[in-house]
A and B are shown apart, each in its own frame.
Chain A
Amino acid sequence: MTTAALVHVVVSGLATGSIYALVAISLVIIYNATRTLNFAQGEMLMISTFVGFTAYQRLRLPLVVVLLVAVVAAAALGWAIERLIIRHAISATHFDVLILTLGVSLVLRAGAGLVWTHDEFPFPALFANRPVALGPVRVAPVSLGIIGASLALMLALYVFFAKTRLGRAMRAVAQNQRAARLMGISVERVYSASWMLAAVVGAVAGILIAPVIFLSSKMGLVAINGFIAAVLGGFGSMPGAVVGGMLLGVLENLAPLYLPSGIKYSVPFLLLITILLVRPGGVVGRAVRRKV
């Protein structure tokens, strides 16, 4: 294996990794607000991508507008799910909310199957797929495009959480809900905003990955790897989610080079079990203390 070929593998690993990182971030946003895992994240991503696809097919909109349509649809969907279902279980245990989102994911996937069928659709690509030579190294523009777009979104999120009032309110709620409420933050509004923001980040990830893996009702399964990425980085931490996503993407792409090729699909799960056993707090996180 030459260095150039290795770079190629690592770059495409980073591209998939960016998608995992975006999905991981969206899971962490919801976890920080409602302290639960959103099982429906992948399905929300899938539905918003499908809405964008329909807009593209029917109206022949340019792809940037398609992205915008998907984002708006995602925000509306996230808002509706939080407001109509999750909010009603606000006093329930995390356990119950987890299962609620599981129910939502079943309904969304079946609903998508009824509306758009369970077929696979080719999705128009924002970036070209044919590799170009950068010196001795050949990389696909689509990889660079995905990495670039994801990094831009992550930067925007960083600014949002660090500088804006709403972003700071969301961080406060993540730290301590009661204290946040006492400071005059409307926790309910933060809930809504978190679900909408998570849905939007997911929609962008969906539009970016759809040309690579095809658009289908099964697309939501990418959320499983997103979750594993979030755990790798220490669940609840956004920088951790980014590191975990990239790490998972690269390892998943490198593993078949050194191990039997059938192992690619088991890599994320073996990685998950290992990290949970060895360092449950994640590679960059630290152990969580539990209080009575």
Chain B
Amino acid sequence: MRRAALALGLVALLAWPWASPRYFVFLASLSVVNAIVAIGLNLLSGYTNQLSFGHAGFLAVGAYTAALLTTRWPDTPVVVTLAVAALVTGLVGLGLGVPCLRLEGLYLAMATLAFGFVVVEAIMNLDWLTRGNDGLRVPAARLGPWALQSDTARYYLVVAVGVVMVWAALNLARTRTGRALLAIRESEIAAQASGVHLARYKTLAFAISAVYTGVAGGLFAFVVGFLSPDAFDVFLSVDYVAMIIVGGLGSVPGSIAGAALLTVLNDSLAGFQSYRPLIFGTLLILSLLFMPGGVARAFRFLKGEQG
């Protein structure tokens, strides 16, 4: 049953570009990219209770790394580009994570918020590198002899990477690291008493989260094809927080559902920009008041398991 559903889902994912108009292929790619960020953010927030309002900053680091690398060396295989984007973003995450260990809750949220602002300012001011507010055109990604120039090609790249990232996230919970993170979520003090090295695992969670967002950033650069600093403002970070709240904290399928839901919603509201934050805000409030645990828990509840 479970396997059948999984296979069906995979077939649907692969068949999507042949069944839908070109624009919806792009939208699906964007949903998957956002889902990867949401999973990364959820590893941090859902597992170790550290809230981040700076993930748009990580996304920007990943995106600009990938874009600059491809501009400079157009023949780099996309896998290498994404790996470098992940590495650079992960290092930034580590750099931010170590000092942020001293902070918790509110203070951490604010430090990450400030990080997001600083990244955007840095992109604007380093215009010899990033072309500042003029924006940066991203060349097509290359995989061996092929240039991924169509929306469909990019979609398959995104889906392939997305499947790997989801698989890794689902299995993380079964590793030593994953169990340590879950222990931290339940009680930091109890986890510490059971021999979990709190500082090490919290930093690790930060780095893993940044790696996820860095990969997503690289994909984002290729999918969108054009980068400018205003795409990575604080409201994007808020959108990611909304995705994991609506989807469900600490749940991988929930992150995917939340990301897909909000990406599509965001797009269908493109014509009503002034109503968008109104609807997002209402959605946030309603899901916290009436659906704590998000889509993931509501789904479990419907299946008859206790929430």
A residues near B (Cβ < 8 Å) are: 36-37, 85, 88-89, 92, 94-96, 98-100, 102-111, 113-114, 118, 224, 227-228, 231, 235, 262, 265-266, 269-270, 272-273, 276-277, 280, 292
Contact = CB atoms under 8 A, between A and B. Distances in A.
A96 B292 contact: yes
Contacts of B113: 224
B92 interface: no
A110 B281 contact: yes
Given A89-B288, A92-B288, A106-B238, A269 B114 contact: yes
Nearest to B275: A110
Contacts of A109: 277
Nearest to B115: A273
B38 to A, nearest CB: 15
Interface string B72-92: 000000000000000000000
The 10 closest A-B pairs by CB, nearest first: A106-B281, A103-B284, A110-B278, A107-B281, A103-B285, A110-B277, A269-B114, A106-B277, A103-B281, A277-B99
Interface residues of B, number: 36
Given A231-B110, A276-B103, 12 more contacts: A98-B109, A102-B284, A103-B281, A106-B281, A107-B281, A107-B282, A109-B277, A110-B277, A111-B278, A228-B110, A276-B110, A292-B189
A79 B277 CA distance: 23
B51 interface: yes
Contacts of B103: 276, 280
Nearest to A118: B274
Interface of B: 49, 51, 99, 102-103, 105-107, 109-111, 113-115, 117-118, 121, 125, 189, 238, 241, 245, 274-278, 280-285, 288-289, 292
A280 B102 contact: yes
A276 B49 CA distance: 19
Mostly, the B contact residues are: helix
B97 to A, nearest CB: 13
Contact of B106 (A103, A107, A235): A235
A222 B115 CA distance: 18
A88 B276 CA distance: 25
Nearest to B49: A95
Contacts of B292: 92, 96
A94 B241 CA distance: 15
5 contacts: A85-B289, A100-B285, A104-B285, A231-B107, A270-B118
By CB atoms of chain B within 10 A, which of A95, A111, A272 has the most?
A95
A103 B105 CA distance: 18
Given A227-B110, A266-B118, A100 B274 contact: no
A110 B115 CA distance: 25
A95 B108 CA distance: 12
A110 B274 contact: yes
A266 B126 CA distance: 14
A103 B102 contact: no
A107 B242 CA distance: 13
Contacts of B99: 276-277
A89 B289 CA distance: 7
B241 A102 contact: yes
Contacts of B284: 99-100, 102-103, 106
Contacts of B280: 103, 106
Given A96-B288, A107-B281, A107-B285, A114 B105 contact: no
